[in-house]
Structure 1
Amino acid sequence: MYTRAVASPLSRSFYSRPTLTVARQLLGCVLSRRVDGQILRGRIVETEAYVGEEDLACHARAGITPRTEPLYGPPGFAYVYLTYGMHYLLNAVTEAKGRPAAVLIRAVEPLQGIEWMEEARGLAERHLLTSGPARLCRAFGLDLAWNRTDLCGTDLWIERGGSVGDPEVATSPRIGCQNVPSPWAAIPWRFYVAGSPHVTPGRRPRKLLMTTASEIGNNRASRNAPPGRIRDTPSRR
């Protein structure tokens, strides 16, 4: 059984860096939540980066709204939203205040508090327990009440774990973004631990490739195209 002393949350400065850097370096870190006198823990094995209003897969593509306001910072806070009227997804806000960006925590490897997670999910298949962002939130008991939570606090936080070397990391286009206008559907801003049984099922690896927002460019003309629907179907969770 995995147990460890309470570690310090990642600092605010960790989240204030470029989103792609944060998304990559969150792999191997440990998502933690205090509940019912115990701590739930899961090693992060899959993330996705969403960067700026120019990113047509990002919720901020239409600008600031009551829903997207948390994306605009400050960094190190949770952005939790509801999709399909039934699934909650957890993001960590990144970069400087005023720049809308976040990392979606897509999947974790359960480490501690597993019985609590199994009861919350009604599921005992360990590899499916938290293998997708909606499954993760249900297993950790996260909903809209956790939106804007300070991830540098003591109720819900991310702490350092074992390092994940570049040979262990794979990338791919972000899941559910295939209808988003080019180039945003194809950029490899999903990061995951290659070979982990806990990542979203059915995704093939590709070598680690860091493509920055500046390399893509703002491509303002594409902003006139109809924005693709952000979706992440239940079968992919």
Structure 2
Amino acid sequence: MGRADTVTSTSDDHPPIGRAELPEDTAALSRYLIGKLVMRQLPEGMVSGRIVETEAYVVGDAAGHGFRGMTRRNRSLFLERGHAYVYLAYGVAWMLNVSSEAPGTGTGVLIRALEPVEGVAIMRQNRGVDRLRDLTRGPGRLAAALRIDLSLDGLDLCQPGPLWLAHDDREPGEIGQSTRIGITKDADRPLRFYLRGSPFVSGPASLSK
């Protein structure tokens, strides 16, 4: 079970990560976020998860949403590092990203998987599944479990609010690196980072050794 079945954190318990602490390089930020917490305040209580898998979408990356410039849909990706970029993938699943680098750059980090920490009962209700491992293993699943949608697009994740990034109280462990999942452009770039040995990492086992 997760901690949230007995404990409810606040922004005082897990204050937001300061923007100055976030690496200014997209790949470095993607690696840095492994082991950090995504905190989500819901009416029913706090829901949170430990980041165990990310993907970086860097400058000049043909797979990145900012590759062809700013649009109404992706404008949050061009904000200063540390803001939420939320979009709907394939018309069915929301995806949570963290903008990176300087304003106007258009790069970001996709949060691909979380280890549930707090609010497991709420996550189960949001997802309609009971198995702990399946609650937040994958970007669409974690967004559904934390009830992340377009209303959070552009939110400053370095400030207290309905969604923010926080430090955890333990070391993340060994971090692995591989190519990204489910893309065709620039697919050979080793820009996916994950926590080795975590059962909550998504994707094929061959990319998570």
**Cα RMSD between the aligned structures?**
1.6
* 2:144 aligns with one of 138, 142, 150: 138
Distance 2:159 2:47 in 1: 15
Displacement after TM superposition at 1:75 (Å):
1.6
One-letter amino acid of the structure 2 residue matched with residue 124 of structure 1: D
Task: Answer with 1 or 2: which has the greater Rg.
Answer: 1
Query: Which deviations, in whole Å up to 9, do the C-alpha atoms of 1:52-83 show, x marking residues without a partner?
Result: 2x100101111111112111112211000001
* 1:41 aligns with one of 10, 35, 48: 48
1:164 aligns to what? 172
One-letter amino acid of the structure 2 residue matched with residue 97 of structure 1: P
One-letter amino acid of the structure 1 residue matched with residue 172 of structure 2: V
Determine if contact 1:15/1:95 at 8 Å carries over to the other structure: no
1:94 aligns to what? 100
Displacement after TM superposition at 1:203 (Å):
3.3
Distance 1:33 1:206 in 2: 27
Q: Does 1:82 align with 2:88?
A: yes
Displacement after TM superposition at 1:37 (Å):
4.6
Determine if contact 1:74/1:97 at 8 Å carries over to the other structure: yes
1:193 aligns to what? 195
What's the TM-score once normalised by structure 2's chain length?
Answer: 0.90
Determine if contact 1:194/1:205 at 8 Å carries over to the other structure: no
The change in CA–CA distance for 1:206 and 1:39 in structure 2 (over 3 A counts) is: closer
Alignment size in residue pairs: 200
Displacement after TM superposition at 1:202 (Å):
2.0
Q: Does 1:72 align with 2:78?
A: yes
Determine if contact 1:173/1:185 at 8 Å carries over to the other structure: yes
Written as runs of structure 1 = structure 2, the 5 A alignment for 1:175-214 is 175-177=181-183, 179-180=184-185, 184-205=186-207
* 1:13 aligns with one of 20, 23, 33: 20
Determine if contact 2:23/2:32 at 8 Å carries over to the other structure: no
Distance 2:199 2:207 in 1: 13
Displacement after TM superposition at 1:201 (Å):
3.8
1:123 aligns to what? 129
More helix by share: 1
Displacement after TM superposition at 1:20 (Å):
1.1
One-letter amino acid of the structure 1 residue matched with residue 26 of structure 2: T
Determine if contact 1:9/1:159 at 8 Å carries over to the other structure: yes
Determine if contact 1:14/1:22 at 8 Å carries over to the other structure: no
Distance 1:163 1:100 in 2: 30
Unaligned 5+ residue runs, structure 1?
Answer: 208-237
Distance 2:151 2:66 in 1: 21
Determine if contact 1:16/1:96 at 8 Å carries over to the other structure: no
Q: Bigger CA drift: 97-106 or 194-203?
A: 194-203
Determine if contact 2:201/2:208 at 8 Å carries over to the other structure: no
Distance 2:82 2:203 in 1: 28
Determine if contact 1:46/1:190 at 8 Å carries over to the other structure: yes
What's the TM-score once normalised by structure 1's chain length?
Answer: 0.80
One-letter amino acid of the structure 1 residue matched with residue 96 of structure 2: L
